[in-house]
Amino acid sequence: MQLLPLAPEPFAAPTDRDMLPAERREFVRTHRTCMFGYPRRADGPSMSVVYYIPTDTDELLVSTMAGRAKAKAVARNGKVSLCILDERWPFAYLQVYCDARVDTDPELTVDVMMAVGGRMSGEPLPEDARPVVQAMAEEEERLVIRCRPYSTFAQPPRHLHRNDQEQPITHWVTAAMPWDAPDENPEAP
């Protein structure tokens, strides 16, 4: 497994149709932030904004502390939702349903934290930052949540540009689809 580098340009979701399965996967691989949601024992679901790292095997990796609720919830119930966020307006989002598990491998933890630092700053962290990141990982008792997508639900970017538009804003119904679904539209790019 290899961590994918930060994409130079995030995939732009089409505004006139639903995303194809391959486009949904590309959207996830080329963005960097999401709402991490998981079930709580009481009340509604918990959600927090996190950076995630995609891999070449389609896992999405999230760094967290062992004492945080995310890690405890995943250990208790391995189902999570990641709402991948676009960073442009009008924004799209893609809900990704995942099976998740906790991984305590210290080397992977530091690799993910280094990659998160690169996504936060917009450029890879220098290798000489690794000992500092490793010390932080140990002090904060960090680990990795490995999320394996199995289904997606897309929301296209829609925007009302002004109140006097000739064409009203339109919506359509989208659907959940398996993560590994094939593209079935022969006219798709």
Report domain extents, the chain: 21-178
CB 92 within 8 A of CB 143: no
Any residues with CB less than 8 A from the CB of 65 and at least 6 apart, and which?
71, 140, 141, 142, 143
CB 21 within 8 A of CB 60: no
Residue 15 class from Cβ within 10 Å (0-12 exposed, 13-18 middle, 19+ buried)? Answer: exposed
Helix axes 106-121, 130-139, angle to 10 degrees: 120
- On the question of a cis peptide bond just before residue 90, with omega within 30 degrees of 0, the verdict is yes
For residue 169, the model assigns a pLDDT of 55
Q: Hey, what are 4's tokens?
A: 């994918």
For residue 133, the model assigns a pLDDT of 98
Cite the DSSP H helix spans in 77-160.
106-121, 130-139
Angstrom distance (rounded) from CA 5 to CA 33: 14
For residue 187, the model assigns a pLDDT of 57
Angstrom distance (rounded) from CA 158 to CA 171: 8
**Each residue's pLDDT tens digit in the chain (189 positions)?**
999 999 999 998 887 788 899 999 999 999 999 999 999 888 889 999 999 999 999 999 999 999 999 999 999 999 999 999 998 877 789 999 999 999 999 999 999 999 999 999 989 999 999 999 999 999 999 999 999 999 999 877 665 555 555 555 555 667 789 999 999 855 545
For residue 73, the model assigns a pLDDT of 94
The pTM score is 0.89
The CATH architecture assigned to 21-178 reads: Roll (2.30)
For residue 41, the model assigns a pLDDT of 83
Task: For the beta carbon of residue 19, count every other beta carbon within 10 angstroms.
Answer: 22
Any residues with CB less than 8 A from the CB of 28 and at least 6 apart, and which?
54, 60, 84, 94, 96, 149, 152
